[in-house]
Structure formats: C-alpha cells, structure tokens
Chain A
Amino acid sequence: MSTFNREELRIIFRNHPLPEETVSSLLNQHVYPDARSWKKFLRIGVLSLGCGFMLAGIVMFFAYNWDALHRFVKLGLIELVIVATTVVAVMIRQDSNIKNTILTAAAVLVGVLYAVFGQIYQTGANAYDFFLGWTMIISLWVLVSGFAPLWTIYLILVNTTIFLYADQLAPQWQAVTVFTILFVINTAVLLLFAWLARRSFARVPEWFLGILSLTVVTYATMGISAGIHDSYDSAFLILCSLSFLAYLYALRHAFAIRKTFLISIISFSIIVIICSALLKQSDGYEIFLLTAIFIITAVSVTIHHLIRLNKKWGGSQHA
C-alpha cells in the first residue's frame, strides 16, 4: 500500500481514538522522512552550501579589487578557476546532479569574469551587453546539461538582458512592448519544455514548468494592465491576441493533464486584467465598489469551479 499523506491520516485520528504511540508510528511510517531522505537532504544541503560559499568567496575576492594584482593576473586567475571547475564537472565520477551543480557554479563564474572585465575596463556592472555576453557564453553548457536550476539562471539572465536593453538602448519603448517581448520569449521556452516533457525527450521537473508558467502569466497580466492604462498601440494588440491564444492552449492542456494550477493562475490573471480595465473607467466611488464586488464574485466562482474539477479528477491535488 502506498504512503498516506497527513490529511488522510487525520481523517483516521479525528474519527477513531488511537494511542499516541500508534499515531506517532503512523506519522513516522507515512509522513515523516526516513533515514534515506535525511541522508539525501544532508548531502544536497552540504553540497549547496559548499558551492554557494565558494562562489561567494570568489565573487568577494574579485570585488575587493586588489591593487597589488595586475589586471592580467586577475583575469587569468578567474579563467583558470572556470577551466578547473569545468574540467572537474566533466571528469568527476559522480551522479549527473552533482556534475551539473558544479557546471552551474562554472556558469556563475563566467559572470564573475565579465564583472572583473567590467571593473578593469570601466564598462559598468549593469550594462546590458555584460549580461548578453554572459548569457551567450554559457548557452552551450545550458543546452548540454539540460539541468533545470541552470536553465532557471539562464532564463533570469535572458530576461535581465532584455530589461536592461530596453532601459539603456530603447527608452522610447512602452512598458507593454517590453512585456510583449518577454512574454513571447518565455512562452516559447515554456512550450518547448512542455513538448520535451510530453515526448519524454527530457526529464523536466514540475517546479520548473510551474515557475515558467507563472512568469509567462505575470508578464501577460502586467503587460495588458500597463497597456490598458498607457496606450492601445500595436504591441498591446499583439500581446492581447497572443495571451488569449496562450491562455486557451494552456487551459486545454490543464484539462488534458487534470491539473488545476494553470487554471488558477490564468483565472487570477484575467481577474486582475478586468480590474485594471474597470479602474481605468473612472475614479469615482461606484467603480471601487463595483471592483470589490467583481473580485469577490469572480474569485468565488473560480474557486467553486476549481473545487468541482478537483472532485471530478479524484482530489489528487490536495495539499
């Protein structure tokens, strides 16, 4: 028999008096982590702290900007560390997670190399081309590793590059234009990973798809809300059309895989967008009252449907 979760066990505890030892034994057996889980937890914890401290130490070493070190020595040192880390990641006889964690550290070190370069030649720490270079250089590692945490860092870099480019080189772009570009890029990546996962070409963790979906929905919501208040230019229309199509596709997918997460975030996004449209109409008291009533009604209807769907799908998502 598979293990029961805490809520299922509580149905027993609420309806049948049991001695504390039995309850404790059931919790230990079904809910609490066993020795194997503790060992995995400690291994991941120690490795993450070790890599994190080492990386932070290296970053601070170069941030110190030691005058006694010639600029070529600084660049040479960091390049040596990158090469060494990459060689270790390739040569080490460990499972792929550990190899990929070390490769992720190497990818972060590339950023340090760019920062040191920027420090020496005064190119600025927040220049968009700093992030663009960093992103391009690690692209191959990201592709080869297929490691979700490294992909997460990569996507953060891609998004940062676009934000900084818009801020530094294209200040004439409206907020809605920037959000449209970010929406398109992140949606493309999300679709790619969803396809890879469905075809079993790659193991894509659920948390990664969840974060990516949340990012895409956030951009759509912020972009359309900004567009409603700023302008109705072509980017706004493109974003509205693409979001509509993406939401339709996502809802169809959510019904196919029987998960309510996508339905929840899309519903909330639509509620926020409609609120923005309502508040744009006027700043009189009636509109605030109408917005409050709308939110309560819309969220209640959404929850009602989510509960119904969950019941229909076997209540598999109880948290």
Chain B
Amino acid sequence: MHKSVDIIRLLKDNLPDTAEINEAAIIKDYEKVAGNATGIAVKILSVLGGVMASAAFLGFLFIVGLDSEVAILGLGLLGIFSGLMANKLLNNLVLDTAGITLFVTGFVLVGLGVHELKGSDITICLVMITLAFTAIIINQGYVIAFISSLIINISLIALINISDAPLLFHVYNAALVILFVLITIKEAAIFTSGSSFADLIGPFRLSLILSMLAGFMMVSLQTFMHGFYVYLPQISSAVAIGAMVYLSVLLSGRFNIRSVATKVLLYSAVVLCLLPTIMFPAIAASLLLITGNFYVNYKPGYVIGALALVYSICQYYYDLQITLLEKSIILMVSGLLMLAIFFVSKSVLKPDAKS
C-alpha cells in the first residue's frame, strides 16, 4: 500500500494550486483503511468461521430442543439484531465472526419460526427479503452487506420457483444485467454521488455476479429442477448479448476506434459468435461477466466468469441433441476459427502494438 503522503500528492496533482485539502481527514481515513487492510483471506476466514460456528450453534439449539415457535422466531430476530449491532457498534473486523454467526443463525431460526407458525413459503421469502434489506440499511459493513444481498437474491429466485412463474426469470436476469452494466460503467458516478452505496459497491458487485450466474444457470440448465422448464431462453440470451454489444461500443469509444468498418466488424463478431448459443444464455452471461469485470479490473469477477464459461460450454455441448461426431466437427471448426483469428490478428493484438 502507498503511504498517505503519496495519496495526498496524487490529489494535489489533480487539483488547482489554490484548492484546499483536508489532509487530516485523509490521513485519518488512510490509517483506518490501512489498519483494517487484510486481504481476501481474512474475509473468507470470517465468513467460513461464521458459517461453521452457526452450524454448531444450531446443532446445540436443536439438541437442547426448542419447541415453541414464538421462541424460535424471537431468538432468530434477536440473533439478527445482535449480529447487526455487534458488527455496527464495535466496527471491528476481529469481532466480525461473532456478528456473522449470530446473523446467519438468526436468519435460519426466523425461517424455521415462520415455517412453524404455518407461514407459507412465499411468506418466508418475503420476511427474509424484508429483514435482509433492513440489515443493509442498518449495517453497511462488507460481510453483512454481502450476506444480506445474497439472501435477497436467493429469496427472489425461490419466490419465482414457488410462484411457478419461470418466465419471471427473464425479468430477474434482465434486471441483474442492467444493474451489472450500470455499476460497471458508472463507477465514477457512484463514487462521486456521496451516497452510502459507494461503500457497498464491493460486496454488492460480488453478490450481483453470483446471483447473475444463478439466474442464468436456472434458465440454461433445463434439467436442473425436475419438472421445471423456463420457456424462451432466447430472451435472457438477447439481454446478455445486447449488454455485450453495448460494452463493445463503449470499448471502441475508449480506444478511439473511429473506422465504421472496424466497429461494424467488432459488433457483428460479438453477435455472430454468441448467436449459436442463444438457447443456453449462461454462455453469453459468463462472457459478459468476464468482459465487464475486466473492464473495471475486478479480478475475482473475471475469474468466476471464466470458470462459469468453461462449465457452461461443457454443459451446452453435453446437452446438445446431436451426435458426438457432429459436436466434434462443430468444436474443431470453432477451434480452428479461433486459432486462425489468433494468428491472423497477431500483429494487431500484440501487447506492444500501437492502438
């Protein structure tokens, strides 16, 4: 990490000489950030520890025997509230695990409590969404925001399934794609907005990526759930392909591609490459995740996207209702095409070639 003096110098370099800078505030914030600088390993450690401790604590509660529905519900709400408060008031990474344990245990108990009180599955999902949404408003810490937004998305997916309205998956996927593109291209605007969302962009981006994958996989993997079929997967594909073309337009602007012929070639290549996969939207979504996350240099995002792409392509060919020989020919032709593009474009795509 740079020193605070370097950060202040960078700010000064980008301001007029007469501008006043609150150096004390920057140094204070720097010390707080540097003091909590931990790397991804600590975040994973606190989440894994929290989930493991929750499992053990739930084991304890069930062996002790909680019979009263109201007690389960009350204990759950108390768990969520204590988790939030522990996390918010102490604002200390060290105590994150205790907060997460109470928070996760609380959600499981609330779900069970509502179920025991004869609440329908839809009620459980709505209660979860409301509580998770409230949690994000009350506590804006990284891990709580991440877990809460995941709970909201899992509940939304469950709601679509329970309502037996699979076509709503296209609406869900479209909404997530729009949000993903917005936080990708409007990051500067989010940072300057002064809203508290600027502090949540990290956990929100990660949970958005995971939720997008879940939503597109639900549409693509038709055999995933018994008797569950999402009609017209082309709708989700069209949204993801549209977003890919939009990112290509922005990229051609960023790198000053002025030739109309090159632009048309670029956009057509994106559409033509993705059109054959229109029945399996997860492929276009994975490519969108790779491109969008590389666009903002978010490494975990494009690694997740790359893994999802490999899985999606394998699953797509596995599900394809043609003979292995036909699959083989298609794959080899695609491979040759890609290798031809690689060698032909060698001079254009050489890292040190002028853009």
Residue positions of A touching B, CB distance < 8 A? 1-2, 4-8, 10-20, 22-28, 31-33, 35-43, 45-47, 49-61, 63-64, 66, 260-261, 264-265, 267-268, 271-272, 275, 283-285, 288-289, 291-292, 295-296, 298-300, 302-304, 306-307, 310-311, 314-319
Q: Give which listed residue, A50, A265, A296, A311, contacts B101 with CB less than 8 A.
A: A296
Chain B neighbourhood of A284, CB < 8 A:
63
- Chain B contacts with A in 17-59, Cβ cutoff 8 A: 21-22, 25-26, 29-30, 33-46, 48-50, 52-54, 56-57, 59
Residues of chain B contacted by A47 (CB below 8 angstroms): 338-339, 342
- Could you tell me if A299 and B45 are in contact, using CB atoms closer than 8 angstroms? yes
A284 to B64, CA, bound (A): 9
A299 interface neighbour in B54, B97, B338, B342, Cβ under 8 Å: B97
Number of interface residues of B (CB under 8 A): 93
Q: How many Å lie between the Cα of A298 and that of B53 in the bound state?
A: 11
Q: Cα distance A283–B101 when bound, in Å?
A: 21
Bound CA–CA A39/B331 (angstroms): 24
In the assembly, what is the distance between CA of A13 and CA of B29, in Å? 11
**Contact sample, A vs B, 24 pairs, CB 8 Å cutoff:** A16-B21, A20-B192, A22-B14, A23-B191, A27-B187, A28-B254, A36-B352, A38-B294, A47-B338, A50-B335, A54-B339, A57-B335, A60-B317, A60-B324, A285-B59, A289-B57, A296-B101, A299-B49, A299-B53, A299-B97, A300-B97, A303-B97, A306-B38, A316-B1
**Contact A51 to B297, CB < 8 A, known contacts A15-B29, A289-B57, A303-B42:** no
| Contact of B7 with A by CB under 8 A | yes
Q: Are B52 and A307 in contact (CB under 8 A)?
A: no
B167 CB–A CB distance under 8 Å: no
Chain B residues within 8 Å of A, Cβ to Cβ: 1-2, 6-7, 9-11, 14-15, 21-22, 25-26, 29-30, 33-46, 48-50, 52-54, 56-57, 59-60, 63-64, 93-98, 101, 187-189, 191-192, 194, 198, 251, 254-255, 290, 294-297, 310, 313-314, 317, 323-325, 327-339, 341-342, 345, 348-353, 355
Q: How far is B7's CA from A183's CA once the two chains are assembled, in angstroms?
A: 45
- Report Cα–Cα, A99/B80, bound state, in Å: 55
Tell me the smallest distance from the CB of A217 to a CB of chain B, in Å.
12
CB distance from A267 to the nearest CB of B (A): 8
Across the A-B interface, the 8 shortest Cβ-Cβ residue pairs: A50-B338, A53-B335, A54-B335, A299-B49, A57-B331, A57-B332, A288-B60, A318-B37
With known contacts A50-B338, A295-B53, A24–B38 Cβ distance under 8 A = no
Asked if A317 and B39 sit within 8 Å, CB to CB, the answer is yes
* Across-interface contacts of A292 in B (CB, < 8 A): 53-54, 56-57, 60, 101
- Closest residue of chain A to B9, judged by CB? A1
Determine the chain A residues whose CB is within 8 A of the CB of B313 once the complex forms. Answer: 52
